[in-house]
Amino acid sequence: MLNHNSQNFFPIDYLSEYEIYNVNDACIALLKLFIVISAEKLNAVRLLADANHDQAHEVIFWKRNLI
């Protein structure tokens, strides 16, 4: 089993869900894994954007209260 750290997570266990008998099966499994990783990265970007958006609103609210 691979060591996973929080900064470099590679869901290798995802591949164990597929029975790989030939090159086609391997390519399909890797393509699906790429889609999962891409979706996770997109979700992380969305969460970061949401956090930055919320933080920007807090700053605007804070500045309005100072005036």
Res 34: pLDDT: 83
Burial class (CB in 10 A: 0-12, 13-18, 19+), 49: exposed
Q: pLDDT tens track of the chain, all 67 residues?
A: 344 444 444 455 555 666 767 788 888 888 888 887 887 787 777 777 777 777 666 655 655 665 5
- Alpha carbons 34 and 53: distance in angstroms, whole number: 28
**Its pTM surpasses 0.85:** no
What span, in angstroms and rounded, lies between the C-alpha atoms of 33 and 51?
27
Q: Specify the DSSP class assigned to residue 12.
A: G
Residue 61 tokens read as: 């609210």
